[in-house]
Structure 1
Amino acid sequence: MLQENWQKADARSSGSPTVKRTKQDWGDARRISLDEFSRRKGKGQFATVVTNLDNSSLLEVVDSHKSDDIIEVLKRQPEQMHASVEEVCVDMWGGFPKVIKEVFINAEIVIDRFHVMKLVNKSLNKIRLKLGLTGLKNKSLLTTNNRDLNDVERVELSELFQQSTVLEIAYEFKEELRHIYESNSTVKSGLAKMRRWLKYAGLFFADIANTLESHLPEIANFFANRTTSAVTEGINTKIKLILRQSYGFATFELMREKLLACSMRMNSAPLRPFE
């Protein structure tokens, strides 16, 4: 049971105020993800997780979301582990490229598709609010994929567009971007499509146009292997569950040890720490 893993982690840390840091064997990690999570909600205490996207496992937890700190911890792993990584999927936080270039020298940077769509949806929602079209229902209609709307919602969306042609066009650009992501494109053709899309969509999403433009090559790297951070988001959700049910940890190292001890079960069973 999962409780046994917790007890093993406790045993490693008992008898000493300082937990000895154990090294993780990353194995043959080819595609990984870097992401952050909040150790304490609303406290601004962020940690960084490293995830193996191919086997849905947690590789490392770093007690910082600063690039230099992340680099220092990750460089403790053998160089051959760094060299074997081919892709690193991340969001558009400015510190990640530095980490990847210094630690994973052979890896391509892939900007996570869902973070890009989240950014576009956020910009689309700003347009809605500026037009005075308030209400959570309107927000849901705009940000939900068109193919997932039912007949009633499609009628409601059409009625919403009757109030603003600008909003309708912006929505169509959002949907076009989703279609580009779902197309059978290569990195080269995907990048070309993205650039054409941004040339016109940027007129509506002006607040994020420069951000997207500066990251387009890394965004288009998605088309090489269609790599996303979906696995990491799932692991982060389970980490938050562990943190809630544990009522806090005395030290970061104890938290790290327990999370890594539980990681072998994260992709195979629901987390029930107190079975």
Structure 2
Amino acid sequence: MQNLSPPPSTTSHAEATPPPERNSSMCRDAECEVRVANVTRNAAVSEGVSGFFGVAEVGGRAYALAQCWESVGRDGCWECLGKAAAAVVGRCLPRREGRALNAGDSTLGVIMAIALASAAFAMLTLFAAYAVHLKRLKAKQARRNLGKVSISFNRLSMDFKYETLEKATDYFSLSKKLGQGGAGTVFIGSLPNNQTVAVKRLIFNTSQWVEEFFNEVNLISGIQHKNLVKLLGCSIEGPESLPVYTVLCLDEATTGLDNAAAFFVVEALPM
């Protein structure tokens, strides 16, 4: 009897009791090959309760047995038994007993590879979708924060029109540039009421600007000193955000300070 391996697996078993010496070659080359071929065909086309099963017997002296698990399927059984039968005929016979076990179907590896690839693709798709959703959620929250900032400025009369600040700085002319750092560039300008201001062009995107702006507002609002600038307002309706500050004259801000320190007071922003 032939022990079966866990599914999916196939086994082809052939045993021949050789007749007298003069007929041994006929059994090996003709009868045994025919028996194995027949039992393979019978097992592949017959589906029973225990799977695919076939038996062939010649003259009560020789027999062959082949069996496939039902989960393999008809086509898979035929393919696997064909390989097992070729192994029996090619390597085992004309011994008294020959066995061959094909422990798997070649299509199983293909199916598993496709399944794993599909699962990996699905995971990557979900991750990309989550990243896009998170980015949109942050942008939406940033727009809400900007709206709140705009309302606050309007109520406190701290809102400046973008066009007004453009004209005040001669459209951000290099001749009006006071300095530049990691957070942006500062320009000096003159408002329609002849007030001199410092206008800062932030280089952050929307979400970064909200955090940076509030940090700056909290810092400047919490420090009161005659030699420190004050926040006048901001323009957030245009293509870029422009905080507006007061400007200290050098003769007011440089008492006991050198020119480098005076310039930092005028800019009054950590770059």
TM-score (norm 1): 0.16
Higher normalized helix content (fraction of residues): 1
TM-score (norm 2): 0.17
